[in-house]
Amino acid sequence: MSTVSIPASIPSVAEDCEQLHKAFEGWGTNEALIISILAHRNAAQRKIIRETYAATYGEDLLKSLDKELSSDFERSVLLWTLDPAERDAQLAHEALRKGNVGHYVLAEIACTRSPHELFLVRQAYHARFKRSVEEDVAYSITGKERQLLVLLLTAFRYDGAEVNMNLANSEAKILHKCVSDKEYENEDLIRILTTRSKAQLSATLNHFNDQVGNPINKDLKADPNDPYLTLLRAVIKCLTCPEKYFAKVLRLAINRLGTDEEALTRVVVTRADVDMKNIKEEYYRRNSVPLDKAIRGDTSGDYERMLIALIGGEDA
Amino acid sequence: MSTVSIPASIPSVAEDCEQLHKAFEGWGTNEALIISILAHRNAAQRKIIRETYAATYGEDLLKSLDKELSSDFERSVLLWTLDPAERDAQLAHEALRKGNVGHYVLAEIACTRSPHELFLVRQAYHARFKRSVEEDVAYSITGKERQLLVLLLTAFRYDGAEVNMNLANSEAKILHKCVSDKEYENEDLIRILTTRSKAQLSATLNHFNDQVGNPINKDLKADPNDPYLTLLRAVIKCLTCPEKYFAKVLRLAINRLGTDEEALTRVVVTRADVDMKNIKEEYYRRNSVPLDKAIRGDTSGDYERMLIALIGGEDA
């Protein structure tokens, strides 16, 4: 469920564009006006605003925003304004130069978007970078993460609800054997994680839990700091309980010395109009602090106001 | 270039459907009438005919054809009438149970269709089989062919014409090192073949030829009967010179003891309205016999008439 509040009666697109253009004029920029418009329009509405703005003022809205805004606030507004598939293509491209941290971003995009959305990201990547995302991932990333990430990003999983219980049972046993033998790169383990539908995989992991007595992620903590195992656990969480994964990313971004604004912005802008309501619930359940309070405590100014507007905080 | 001849003025869809329905009535089936309609309509026209036929007569045209026709003629008409993406999904599914022979079919679909067409095949596979094609391939095929075929089928290659010549040069060297060391499963070799755009790959293989003095496929003939190497050579031909690949498949299907109707039908129905003109030219160049003559020599009856109609033979 989305946390983006869209007014019951919104101004015309032309009016929105005019207001945005006004916000850029004169001595200072009117950040509050920008937030009051963009943070309260859905992806389809933002797309039309961007098209109409370009047609009216002869400049890409993103470019105008880029000129007027700065720092974390700028990044949050720019990413939010982008079409979701273009945004993911850009995040994936940036992730290539970020080592282990980037691997999570790639896994997150591959595993928490719907199969069709992931394909749109691949199309947007073509259009923007003149290469395929798997081409760049396979070229830039080495080691055991390479194969896993390429297979995750290129998957077009079946997304129906049908589940084969016999298969779930037998593949749970395969997974158990792999983790018992510490064969974390076993090709059947990789095959199951990278090709099965999310519904089928959830059934398999439930069988695993029943057979073994604990969730697979516990067994994948054999060496808690091994980056490959950490990535595997993130993949499984992204595929089966994305709200828990994102709540944890937010917790880690906030509860550290110096906020990780990059992760905070990424999760808020990519999930606000998807499942931020569930993420907020999960965050509160796990941390006993409401997410908006946590964000307010760690951010300030227009950046804070933008994030709070997107997650549907009271002063939004 | 297509070899399917479409009359300058075609009857209305309703008329086509009525004629087809008539062809099924009475004591015998009018095969000539079926060929005269279906073999002379393009994919978009056949699609509308199929929809209109179902709406008019309450039965899928494929089902009516299935009841009335038989043997190789039936298979050629059914496959031809299917939407190209559905047809490829079906061919891919059948290929899973055919061992080495099936591997070529899968590689052919992955490598000779455009990136977008390949994605449509994956969508059609979901719709028809309630699983993803990579899921079934990874599950059914083992050994070194598995990884190669999964990566080929899941690729969404960039399809622009841009070529990076420095990259082509350096990757030609990587390929040369791999084949010199007989490391045919080297992950860089697989990466280059499965992710680079066709334009980039052609440039790389031209560099290889310049640097080494022979095409890479010569070096991949170290053991001419090794099935994995044979598959690698087919992949490279499919990606860089599909008309040569298909001309060879046709030659092998025809010039053997007992025609390989399955391969013959597959190549004719999948290429007739794509690049059959080029394949015919290549076939003649290589065999000094026109393809239609070769097909006439090896087939008969309605099956012969259907194939000849599709490849634009004189009595079509």
- Mutant choice from A130, A154, A192, A201 vs B, greatest count of B C-beta within 10 A: A154
Please answer yes or no on whether A157 and B135 come within 8 Å at the CB atom: yes
Is it the case that residue B315 has pLDDT exceeding 80? no
- Looking at the complex, report in whole angstroms how far the Cα of residue B119 sits from the nearest Cα belonging to chain A: 9
Higher local confidence (pLDDT), A223 or B37: B37
* CA angle B156–B158–B159, rounded 5-degree value: 110
CB atoms inside a 10 Å sphere around CB B175:
23
A152 to chain B: closest CA residue: B154
What is the spatial distance between Cα B120 and Cα B85, in angstroms, rounded to a whole number? 6
B126, A155: Cβ pair inside 8 Å? Answer: no
Written as tens digits, the pLDDT of chain A (316 aa) is 999 999 999 999 999 999 999 999 877 899 999 999 999 999 999 999 999 999 999 999 999 999 999 999 999 999 999 999 999 999 999 999 999 999 999 999 999 999 999 999 999 999 999 999 999 999 999 999 999 999 999 999 999 999 999 999 999 999 999 999 999 999 999 999 999 999 999 999 999 999 999 999 999 998 888 999 999 999 999 999 999 999 999 999 998 888 999 999 999 999 999 999 999 999 999 999 999 999 999 999 999 999 999 999 754 3
- Checking if the pLDDT of B288 tops 80, the result is yes
CA closest to B126 among chain A residues: A158
First to last CA, chain B: 17
- Angle subtended at Cα B238 by Cα B233 and Cα B241, rounded to the nearest 5 degrees: 100
Q: Which residue has the tokens 């130069």?
A: A97
Instruction: For residues B150 and B159, give the distance between their C-alpha atoms in angstroms, rounded to a whole number.
Output: 19
The architecture CATH gives domain B165-219: Orthogonal Bundle (1.10)
Please answer whether residues B284 and B290 qualify as being in contact, where contact means their C-beta atoms are separated by less than 8 angstroms: yes
Q: How far is CA B160 from CA A77, A89, B170, in A?
A: 31, 17, 20
Angstrom distances, CA of residue A311 to CA of A293, A295, A301, A305, B221 = 11, 10, 16, 10, 60
For residue B124, what is the nearest residue in chain A, using CA coordinates? A158
**What is the spatial distance between Cα B85 and Cα A161, in angstroms, rounded to a whole number?**
23
Residue B316: its pLDDT value, please? 35
**Domain residue spans of chain B:** 13-69, 84-154, 165-219, 242-310
Residues making up the annotated binding site of B for Ca(2+) are: 24, 26, 28, 68, 254, 256, 258, 298-299, 304
Cα–Cα distance measured from residue A152 to residue A175, given in angstroms and rounded to the nearest whole number: 17
Cβ neighbours around A257 below 10 Å, total:
4
| Torsion sign across C-alpha atoms A163, A165, A169, A174 | negative
Taking the C-alpha atoms of residue B103 and residue B141, their distance in angstroms, rounded to an integer, is: 9
Name residues whose C-beta falls within 8 Å of residue A27's C-beta, 6 or more positions apart in sequence.
none
ipTM: 0.91
| Distance from C-alpha of A303 to C-alpha of A300, rounded to nearest angstrom | 6
The answer to whether the CB of A211 falls within 8 A of the CB of A242 is no
* Residue among B133, B136, B154, B185 with most chain A CBs within 10 A, to mutate: B154
Measured CA to CA, the distance from residue A221 to residue A214 in angstroms comes to 12
Contact residues, chain A, for B195 at CB < 8 Å: 132, 134-135, 138-139, 150
Of A123, A132, A162, the CB nearest to B130: A162
Residue B185 touches chain A, beta carbons under 8 Å: no
Which tens digits make up the pLDDT trace of B38-94?
A: 999 999 999 999 999 999 999 999 999 999 999 999 999 999 999 999 999 999 999
Q: Which CATH superfamily is domain B84-154 in?
A: Annexin (1.10.220.10)
Residues of B in contact with A156 (CB under 8 A): 119, 122-123, 126, 132, 134, 154
Q: In chain A, which residues have their Cβ closer than 8 Å to the Cβ of B139?
A: 191, 195
Q: Which residue has the tokens 């808020």?
A: A268
User: What integer pLDDT is reported at residue B118 of this predicted model?
Assistant: 98
- What class, spelled out in words, does domain B13-69 have in CATH? mainly alpha
Number of residues that this document lists for chain A: 316
Distance in angstroms (rounded) separating the CA atoms of residues B296 and B308: 8
Do B150 and A151 make contact, defined as CB atoms within 8 angstroms?
yes
Q: What percent of chain B has pLDDT over 70?
A: 99
What pLDDT sits at residue B314? 54
Burial class for A28, CB neighbours closer than 10 Å (0-12, 13-18, 19+): exposed
Q: Is residue B130 less than 8 Å (CB to CB) from chain A?
A: yes
Q: From chain A, pick out residues whose CB is under 8 angstroms from the CB of B135.
A: 157-158, 195-197
pTM, full prediction? 0.94
Topology alike, domains B84-154 and B165-219: yes
Residue A190 token pair: 């990789």
Q: Which residue positions of B form the known binding site?
A: 24, 26, 28, 68, 254, 256, 258, 298-299, 304
Residue B30 in contact with residue B22, Cβ under 8 Å? Answer: yes
Contact B131, A200 (CB under 8 A): no
Q: Could you give the residue ranges of the DSSP H alpha helices within chain B? A: 13-24, 31-38, 43-57, 61-68, 71-81, 84-95, 99-112, 115-129, 133-140, 144-154, 165-180, 187-195, 198-212, 216-219, 227-240, 242-254, 261-271, 276-287, 291-298, 301-310
Q: What's the number of CA atoms in the CB half-sphere (13 Å) around residue A122?
A: 29
- Nearest-Å Rg of the Cα atoms of chain B is 21
Judged by a CB distance cut-off of 8 A, whether residue A191 touches chain B is: yes
CATH number of B242-310: 1.10.220.10
The predicted pLDDT at position A314 comes to: 54
What does CATH list as the number for A165-240? 1.10.220.10
Task: Report the C-alpha dihedral over residues B273, B275, B281, B283, rounded to 10 degrees.
Answer: -90
